[in-house]
Amino acid sequence: MHNDSGSIRNLVIGLLLVAVPFGIVYLLTRTNSNAEVLLIVAVFCVGLALLFAMASGLQQVGAVAVRLSGRSPLDIMIVGLAALSLLTPWTIEVAVGNLYQVFGWINPLGWVVAICLLLSVMQSARPYHGVALTVAGVALVAWVGWVAWLLTSPSFRNLPFTFVPVDILSTGWYAGLIGWLIAVDALASRRARLPKVAPKKEVLLLALVPGMGLVRLGFSGRGRLWLAAAVLAIAFMGISAVNDSEFGYWAHYLTVPPDRGRLDVVIGAAALGLVLVGSWFDAWRSLRRRVIMGDWLARVRDRSRGEIR
């Protein structure tokens, strides 16, 4: 940390020293029409120096805050995402469909997700971390279900546009989802370090989240590859969603954007479904192999004991 701070300090000083002569030459030749180039270079160097200085200062402040809180950066990230899910909208505004932004703080499910995420980082609530994350996951899925049901109402069904749930979901829901995935990964990793054998029911339940059953069994690399694949599929669907500014623009004309094919969203949903099924099957297969290996080791152990006798 000290070496990095020293390097950044030297870089800031160097950029300022580069900017000074360009600034002086500009002041001496500012009547020349081409002197503005010198000013641009000087301002660029000063701006870059300030940017590096601010970044270094924020890094040091953040490190001090983490040390003073006594919590891990992962816990602080989960708490921050829980707060973000309350402070931002869970739906966009579609005025012609009589839908307005629903912020996390006025959404009961938003409060459920935020409180459960907070419980998942509290040491005093450690025995209930699994229950809290299960409830948060159900709340996130329930919101998607509510959005899907909303799109079947006459307000949306009669509009000349093919809506899909990702068109309606907004920042708060995604913040809650990211915080939940991080918390579930932390839970599975922590329990994988326990000395006792992972219960089958717990593994299969965690396997409902892509890769987390494998992480619980100790296959963290393979499990996180499945999780990354699921995140990519969700991100693809999110990018394929219609921007809320587009709905806002066409709302001035009391209509919706021109209808378009939603094959990209269908492909993303199909890919996510395949990842979910494949991840769960991989966890089940790994459990099955563990049982077979355990039976084989038991037979070898019994045979060895018999030979000793």
Residue 151 contacts by C-beta under 8 Å, 6 or more apart in sequence?
Answer: 157, 163, 164, 165, 168
- Which residue is it, tokens 């870059």? 48
Give the residue from 217, 55, 207, 88 showing the smallest Cα distance to 137: 207
DSSP string across 135-182: HHHHHHHHHHHHHHHHTTSHHHHTSSS---HHHHB-HHHHHHHHHHHH
C-alpha dist (Å) from residue 286 to 73, 222, 275? 31, 11, 16
- For the chain, the residue count is 309
Q: pLDDT 10s digit of each residue in the chain, 309 long?
A: 444 556 666 666 766 777 777 777 777 776 665 556 666 667 767 776 776 666 666 555 445 444 544 557 788 888 889 999 999 999 988 888 888 888 999 999 999 999 999 999 988 888 889 999 999 999 999 999 999 999 998 888 888 888 999 999 998 999 999 999 999 999 999 988 888 888 888 889 999 999 999 999 888 899 999 999 999 999 989 888 888 788 888 778 778 888 888 888 999 999 999 999 999 999 999 888 876 665 444 454 545 555 555
What separation, in Å, do the N-terminal and C-terminal C-alpha atoms of the chain show?
A: 62
CB atoms within 10 A of CB 107: 23
Long-range contacts of 119-127 (CB under 8 A, 24+ apart): 120/78, 120/183, 120/186, 120/187, 121/71, 121/75, 121/78, 121/79, 121/183
How far is residue 214's CA from residue 219's CA, in Å, rounded to a whole number? 5
Tell me the chain's radius of gyration from C-alpha atoms.
27
pLDDT for 68 equals: 42
Its pTM stands at: 0.74
Answer yes or no: are the C-beta atoms of 216 and 188 closer than 8 Å: yes
Amino acid letter at 55?
A
Helix (H) or strand (E) holding 264, with range, is helix 263-308
